Copies of this chain bind each other. A is one copy, B any other.
Amino acid sequence: MALKDLSTAELETQLTDARDAYAKFANRGLLLDITRGKPSPEQLDLSADLLTAVTNDDCISPSGVDVRNYGGLEGLRELREIFGELFRVPVDQILAQGNASLTLMQQALTFALLHGTPELDTPWATHSRRIVCPVPGYDRHFALAEELGFELITVPMDDEGPDVSAVRELVATDPTIKGIWVVPMYSNPTGATISEERARLLLDMPTAAPDFRVLWDNAYGLHHLREPHGQMLDVLALAEEAGNPNRVLQFASTSKITHAGAGVSFIAASPENISWFLKHLGAGSIGPDKINQLRHLRFFGDAAGVVAHMAKHAELIRPKFDAVISTLEAQLAGSGIAGWTNPDGGYFITLTVLPGTADRVVKLAAEAGVKLTPAGATHPYGLDPDNAVIRIAPTMPSLEDVSAAAEGLAACVRLAALEKLLAED
């Protein structure tokens, strides 16, 4: 029965029970962390052989490059071929770089700020600028754009992606709106995948800024939890079809495929955007770490090798997602005080609690030993107007710990809701 339909007396009884449940959980003295989307040690172990895939006797790439020396700004061609195939991009339109796609996003935005774009040589830094942030979204996207002087404008997300009507209306008349963040598959934090229809609408909509960019952070495009899974959109082809080939900058990395701190990042875009990016990149780089790229090439062998590797990740991660979902289901279904996503991939579950209680839930959980991402982190400026969204990152802890964390979290959600309902009563 939904809590809101209970009488005050019934709520008070429930509150006593909820306090007991919470105290019992807190007394277990656990120390659990489900804040960040980090792979578990077991996931990292899947890439064990990568570490010894390049030795000094064997440090020449298939096309004859001594990967130990300088050069090769675009990244190792054979590795770009594999990830080009996976991300549906011609090899000349994808670059392989350092260990973080976030750095590529910072660089792309910085180059636009300082130099303008292929379409418009007015540096973005010379005028006020805004960026569209679908919410809930990824805190580091918001923080990066804020650091770079963008005003963050919120639009809602649903199961098929951003509210494109809202976006279209915003960008049609405001030339200071220069872009939108999109995590196309298994988005952070809801797990939603953008529909082809929404993608097409973003790619062909009229924009007042001639160099508007869709920052297509395809961080989880290969991170399926279940079979069969959806197909990745060929976003560069869609942009070209829409007559806006330069509109998309696609980002990806192997951070959650091989080693989180020592993977390879990728940027894919139109030929014109790639030339533009390389020109500015080359002022500060002679080339990325090709040894690590050759390690990745040898470890995977080909695109099928990446797919097979990702299936092993899914085997390790899926039970953790399932444990969180089933615990939330068991503890909170029908209570009317919480909803949650049940994603088919990616790294996160979004828990939506009774409006006004997310910060209280996070605080209660912390005091009981469960560390969560701060309430509001999924929104620009850390401000969730409903104070209702909590991001759960189930991958890093053990299955046992993640189950315990979900149970404790459910107790916090219930307690916070009852406190609120009684306070309003």
Residues of A whose CB lies within 8 Å of any CB of B are: 36, 38-39, 41, 44-45, 47-49, 51-52, 54-56, 59, 66-72, 98-100, 102-103, 105-107, 110, 113-114, 123, 125, 140, 143-144, 147-149, 255, 259-262, 280, 283-292
Given contacts A51-B56, A103-B284, A144-B283, 17 further A-B contacts (CB under 8 A): A41-B66, A45-B56, A47-B56, A49-B56, A51-B55, A68-B259, A68-B260, A70-B260, A70-B261, A71-B261, A100-B285, A103-B285, A106-B283, A113-B114, A143-B283, A261-B290, A262-B289
CB-nearest residue of chain B to A103 = B284
Q: CA of A99 to CA of B264 in the docked complex: distance in angstroms? A: 13
Name the distance in Å between A238's Cβ and chain B's nearest Cβ.
27
CB-nearest residue of chain B to A396 = B69
CB-nearest residue of chain B to A256 = B70
Q: Which residues of B contact A255 (CB under 8 A)?
A: 70
Partner among B49, B56, B67 whose Cβ is within 8 Å of the Cβ of A262? B67
Name the distance in Å between A19's Cβ and chain B's nearest Cβ.
36
Q: Which residues of B contact A283 (CB under 8 A)?
A: 106, 143-144, 147-148
* A280-B147 in contact given A52-B55, A55-B51, A291-B262 (Cβ < 8 Å): yes
Cβ A284 vs Cβ B107 within 8 A: yes
* A114-B125 in contact given A51-B55, A262-B290, A290-B262 (Cβ < 8 Å): yes
Q: Which residues of B contact A292 (CB under 8 A)?
A: 262, 289, 292
CB-nearest residue of chain B to A104 = B284
Name the distance in Å between A97's Cβ and chain B's nearest Cβ.
10
Partner among B52, B262, B284, B286 whose Cβ is within 8 Å of the Cβ of A68? B262
Cβ B69 vs Cβ A99 within 8 A: no
CB-nearest residue of chain B to A69 = B260
Q: Which residues of B contact A285 (CB under 8 A)?
A: 100, 102-103, 106
Q: CA of A102 to CA of B286 in the docked complex: distance in angstroms? A: 8
Partner among B52, B54, B71, B289 whose Cβ is within 8 Å of the Cβ of A98? B289
CB-nearest residue of chain B to A39 = B69
Q: CA of A283 to CA of B284 in the docked complex: distance in angstroms? A: 18
16 pairs across A/B with beta carbons < 8 Å? A36-B70, A41-B66, A47-B56, A48-B55, A48-B56, A51-B54, A52-B55, A70-B255, A72-B261, A106-B283, A110-B110, A113-B125, A143-B283, A262-B290, A289-B289, A292-B292
CB-nearest residue of chain B to A48 = B56
Partner among B44, B48, B125, B280 whose Cβ is within 8 Å of the Cβ of A66? B44
Cβ A286 vs Cβ B100 within 8 A: yes
- Most chain B CB within 10 A, of A41, A72, A98, A99, is at A99
Partner among B51, B59, B147 whose Cβ is within 8 Å of the Cβ of A59? B51
- Most chain B CB within 10 A, of A56, A106, A259, A283, is at A283
- Most chain B CB within 10 A, of A47, A284, A287, is at A284
Q: Which residues of B contact A107 (CB under 8 A)?
A: 284
Q: CA of A226 to CA of B127 in the docked complex: distance in angstroms? A: 54
Q: CA of A284 to CA of B111 in the docked complex: distance in angstroms? A: 13
Q: CA of A259 to CA of B287 in the docked complex: distance in angstroms? A: 12
Cβ B287 vs Cβ A261 within 8 A: yes
Q: CA of A270 to CA of B105 in the docked complex: distance in angstroms? A: 28
